[in-house]
Amino acid sequence: MTTQLDAWAALLIGFLGAGHCIAMCGGVAAAFSMAIPTTQRRWQWWYLLSYNAGRIVSYSLAGALVGGVFASLADISLGKQGLVFLRLLAGVMTILLGLYLARWWFLLLRLEKLGNGLWRHLKPLAARFVPFRHPVAALPFGMIWGWLPCGLVYSALTWSAVSGGAMEGARVMALFGLGTLPTLLALGGLAGQLRHWLNHPGFRQSSGILLICYGLFTLYQAFSLL
**pLDDT, tens digit only, all 226 positions of the chain:** 445 667 777 888 888 887 677 667 666 766 777 778 777 777 888 888 999 999 999 999 999 999 999 888 776 666 667 778 888 988 999 999 999 888 899 888 888 888 888 888 888 888 888 888 888 989 999 999 899 888 889 989 998 888 888 999 999 999 999 998 887 777 665 555 666 676 778 888 998 999 999 999 989 988 887 7
**Residue among 47, 54, 44, 39 nearest 174 (CA):** 54
pLDDT at 2: 47
pLDDT at 60: 96
pLDDT at 106: 87
pTM equals: 0.87
pLDDT at 220: 92
pLDDT at 22: 67
